[in-house]
Every structure is written in C-alpha cells, then in structure tokens.
Amino acid sequence: MSVRVRFAPSPTGYIHAGNVRAAVVTWLFAKKHNGHFLLRIDDTDLERSKDEYEQDIEAGLMWLGLAWDEKARQRDRMDRYAAVIADLKAKGRLYDCYETQEELALKRKAQLAQGLPPIYDRAALKLTQEQKEKFTAQGRRPHWRFKLVDGAIEWDDMIRGPVKFDTKDMSDPVLIREDGSPLYHLCSVIDDIDHDITHVIRGEDHVSNTAMHIQMFKAIGRETPPQFAHMPMIMDAEGGKLSKRLGSLSVKDLRENEGLEPMAIISFLALLGSSESIEPFTEIGPLLEKFDVSKFSKGAPKFDLEELIRLNAKVIHQMPFSAVCTRLAEMGLSTLDEHFWNAVRPNLTRLADIMDWWTVAHGPVAPAIDDPAFIGQAASLLPPAPWTETTWKEWTDAVKAATGRKGKDLFMPLRRALTGMDHGPELAVLLPLIGPEKVMARLQGRREAA
Ligand code: GLU
C-alpha cells in the first residue's frame, strides 16, 4: 500500500507553530514512506477563510521546504459534497432538525441540571411531516445531523494506542448548516475518501471527531477508514495552550522577526514530544532515520522559543558556506567569502548576526580613542603578520606586560579603538579578519569612508 497523507489547514489565521507541526510531521511521514503529500485547504467556513491566510500557509510551507505533491481546496468541491449529501439523505443517514441555537442551549442546560450529559436527544427524528411544514412556514430552515449507528467505535491510534468511544456518549453531529452549506466533518471525510488518504495525522483536539468520522467513512462508502495518529497539543513555555492568536509564534514571525532557519524549526518540531532527543539537522535524510510517528508520547510538549533559538545556533554552526552564500549576497554581503564564514560561524545564533561581524571587520568604523598614549603604545606592540586567532592573545599579553593594565582597562580601550563600540563580536576572531592595515589605521584614529 502506498502512503497518501494530507495536511489540511483552515485558512482562518496565520500558520503558527501548533499547526505547522502537523505539517512537518505529516510531510516527514510521507517522505519516510515514499508517499504522496496533499495540501488541502479546509475553507468551508467562507466567512473566516481569507486568501491572505491561504497565501501565508503556502509561503510558510514553501519557506520550510515542505513541498506538496498536490493541492486541493474544499471550496472547489461543492458539487461533489452535494452529491454525497443527496445520497446520505436518501439512505436516511442525514436528518433534518429545526431547533434554534437557543432551544438547543436550553436543552443542554436542562440535561446538565438533571446530571445528564448534554447529548442531543434526537427529538427531530420524531417530527411529523406536518410539524416540519409548520416550522418551514415560520421561516425556519433545517440543519442536518448525521445519524450515528449505536455501538462502540474503536481504532488503534498510532500515537495513543487503542481508543474506544461509545455512541451513547456522543451527539449526532451536525453536518449541514441552516444555509445548506456542508461542515468540515463531511467535507473532510469525503476528501479523505476521494484522495485515498491512508493515514490522518492531526492534533488530539480531533480525537472525538475521529470517532464520528469512522462511521461516516463507512456510510459514504469506504469500509476501512485511514489509520489515525493524534498528536498532543503543544503548550507554550508556561504550560498554556498555544493558539493561533499567539502571533509571536507564527511561522511568519519565526522567519521574519526571530530570523530562524527552516531546518532548525523542522528539527525541533519533528522530534518535540517524541522519545528521541532533539538534535540539529541541516538535511532531511538523517532526520528521517530518527523520525518515527509512533515515538511521540501522549504528554503535551512545551514549545520553548529559547530552546528553538539555541537549536538554531547549532544548525547554523553546521551550515557550509555553500548553503548560505546566496542569502549572504541578498543581505548585501556578496564579497563575504568562505574563510570569513568559517571563522565567524561558531559565534552566530542567527544568520543576521553576521552583519555585526562584517561591519566591524570591514567598516566603516569610527574609532573611539580616549587615551591616545595607551593606544599608541599598543599599536607599537602589534605582532607581525600573518595573523591568526591567537594573535589577539599574543598582542594583549604584550600590551599587558608593557603597560601593567589588565581586565577591562586593557581590553575596553582596544575594543573602542578597533570597533568604535563598547561591546560586540569577539576580537580574537575579528583581529585577523580586520587585518593589519585596517587595525593600524583604526589605532591611529583614522575614520573609514562609508
Ligand atoms: N482544518 C482542520 C484543522 O485545521 C483539519 C483537521 C484535519 O486534519 O482533519 O484543524
């Protein structure tokens, strides 16, 4: 059996860490099994769905490198849904209900007051034709519920293990709104059938939906439902729920504001909450060997941005020059070479940090010289070229011996003369990159041209 999976986001908000995790895990699952990855846009909620969000989802996936083999949109499939609806009505599996939201809320309240679970009582099944006509004459439009078959519903979840529901604890789900539009559950199951989806990987907020979907698969004509994997929801670092509104963790923000690497995000989300330790990967191949859906635990993992940032640094420290040179050129650093990259790379947390190092190395720098006599003496003690990363120590040892200065009194004036700033990248790495000529010019207080 060839694996066919889908990532089915609703375009009702920017794609965020919580839902992109389902994308990462589903995509990796497809890659691991040489399968087919469908991007399905669940846009049945026409009011809340926006093109802007759909574009954001696509841009986010593309930036992460999660290419899809095929794309589908529920909005384009209304005819197919209408045909299935007609069939389910004919089979008596959809029934029309005329209760208003207020009436349903009252029923639930009364049930709860009696200590009963708030399950729909199927009163609509007892309506006579006459009563229905009366409702219609009053201007009421029916919504339609799917009639569950009594009994147990069971499946072996790839993450949760055996799961069991009983229909006596479930309400018949509403599949069609009063305006006649189909709801997510119906469209999703029809799509999963039509696309021959073999595995559904999604958040555990869908566990109870899966129970009713399993009966719907059968009613619509697919005897064996897909296999299911329900991932625990991600919590934020404080243990709260991650929501779409938690904008600081949208993919857009991770990319634009946090400046993180796609492979850091993928490495993090692929293993977060699994029994494998999180490691930095720069390529998918080795990650696939470690990745296994069945290794996810049932406990909710925490999404700690600081941890992701630390992982980002580790990913960058492994990235070869060839992997970044195009992006460096886009940042205006087309003359930055492999030697510079290799020297500076271990000090970067984010790629953008390289800008500080480049500016200090190449200028323009306005040297800040507060004690010209000291700086002049230091200049006369510069070791001869060629310089390496040990030159800084050699030099400052010599300056220390000659002047008796140490600690901050020794380093700060040198830093200020060489960089014009009180803090910044490590000078041991920078000194050979700045080079003897520029170092001497800066120590002499010469301002560089922009
Ligand atoms: N549109 C649904 C969601 O974003 C899809 C769930 C599913 O994978 O079926 O939650």
Residue 303 makes CB contacts below 8 A (sequence gap 6+) with 17, 18, 234, 235, 236, 237, 242, 249, 272
Which residues, at least 6 apart from 397, have a Cβ–Cβ distance to it below 8 Å?
none
Supply the pLDDT for residue 243: 56
279-315 confidence digits (pLDDT tens)? 999 999 999 999 999 999 988 898 888 999 999 999 9
Q: How far apart are CA 61 and CA 39, in angstroms?
A: 10
| pLDDT at residue 209 in the model | 97
In angstroms, the CA 143 to CA 175 distance is 8
Q: Which fold has domain 1-68+232-318?
A: Rossmann fold (3.40.50)
pLDDT score, position 248: 52
The finding on whether 9 has its CB within 6 A of some atom of ligand 1 is yes
What is the reported pLDDT for 363?
Answer: 86
Do 295 and 231 touch, CB atoms closer than 8 A? no
Structural domain boundaries in the chain: 1-68+232-318, 89-176, 321-361, 363-443
Q: How far is the CA of 259 from the centre of ligand 1 (A)?
A: 28
> For residue 96, what pLDDT is reported?
98
Using one digit for the tens of pLDDT, what is the confidence trace for 245-287?
454 588 999 999 999 999 999 999 999 999 999 999 999 999 9
Q: Whose CA is nearest to atom 10 of ligand 1?
A: 9
- CATH T-level topology, domain 89-176: Glutamyl-tRNA Synthetase; domain 3 (3.90.800)
Yes or no: is domain 363-443 CATH 1.10.10.350? yes
The H or E element that residue 161 is part of is: strand 161-166
Residue 49 Cβ < 6 Å to ligand 1: no
Regarding the beta carbon of 202 and ligand 1, being less than 6 Å apart is answered: yes
Q: Compute, in angstroms, the gap from residue 393 CA to the centroid of ligand 1.
A: 58
Find the 9 Cα to ligand 1 centroid distance in Å: 6
- What's the pLDDT at 1? 74
Report the DSSP beta bridge partners of residue 313. Answer: none
Which residue has its alpha carbon closest to ligand 1 atom 4? 9
Does the C-beta of 40 come closer than 6 Å to ligand 1?
no
In three-state form (DSSP H/G/I as H, E/B as E, the rest C), the secondary structure along 352-412 is: HHHHHHHHHHHCCCCCCCCCHHHHHHHHHCCCCCCCCCCHHHHHHHHHHHHHCCCHHHHHH
Distance (Å) from CA 196 to ligand 1 centroid = 17
Atom of ligand 1 nearest to the CA of 42: 1
Q: Which atom of ligand 1 is nearest to the CA of 206?
A: 6
| CA 73 / ligand 1 centre spacing (Å) | 13
pLDDT tens, N- to C-terminus, the chain (450 residues):
799 999 999 999 999 888 899 999 999 999 999 999 999 999 999 899 999 999 999 999 999 999 999 999 999 999 999 999 999 999 999 999 999 999 999 999 999 999 999 999 999 999 999 999 999 999 999 999 999 999 999 999 999 999 999 999 999 999 999 999 999 999 999 999 999 999 999 999 999 999 999 999 999 999 999 999 999 988 877 777 765 445 458 899 999 999 999 999 999 999 999 999 999 999 999 999 999 999 999 888 988 889 999 999 999 999 999 999 999 999 999 999 999 999 999 999 999 999 999 999 998 899 999 999 999 999 999 999 999 999 999 999 999 999 999 999 999 999 999 999 898 888 999 999 999 999 999 999 988 776
Q: How far is the CA of 90 from the centre of ligand 1 (A)?
A: 28
Q: How far is the CA of 142 from the centre of ligand 1 (A)?
A: 26
pTM of the model: 0.90
H helix or E strand, kind and range, residue 218: helix 207-220
Using DSSP's 3-state secondary structure scheme, residue 231 falls into strand
26 lines ligand 1 (CB under 6 A): no
